[in-house]
Amino acid sequence: MPTIGWFEILIVIAIAIVVLGPKDFPIMLKKVGSWIGTTKKYINNIQNEVSNIDIEDNKIEKKEEKKDES
């Protein structure tokens, strides 16, 4: 998988400034940052839900094991 270095990021930023213009570039950065933040929150929520499901499954299995032992 190819890696993106600082030079490539600098080129993308320079092209974005030329295409969008220096006036609209900060607005676009805010939008992109908002999208990234929303995506991270969504992914964290999914990870927490999966973790909670796993914990609940383990609790149910332990209860069933205790009932079988009795």
Three-state secondary structure call for residue 18: helix
Per-residue pLDDT of the chain (70 residues; tens, 9 = 90+): 678 899 998 999 999 999 989 899 999 999 999 999 999 999 999 998 988 887 777 777 777 667 666 5
Amino acid at position 8, single letter: E
Write the Ramachandran bin of 21: left for phi over 0, alpha for psi from -120 to 50, otherwise beta: left
- Going by C-alpha positions, the residue among 9, 13, 31, 12 that lies closest to residue 22 is 13
The per-residue pLDDT for 35 is 96
The whole-angstrom separation of Cα 62 and Cα 58 is: 6
DSSP state of 11: H
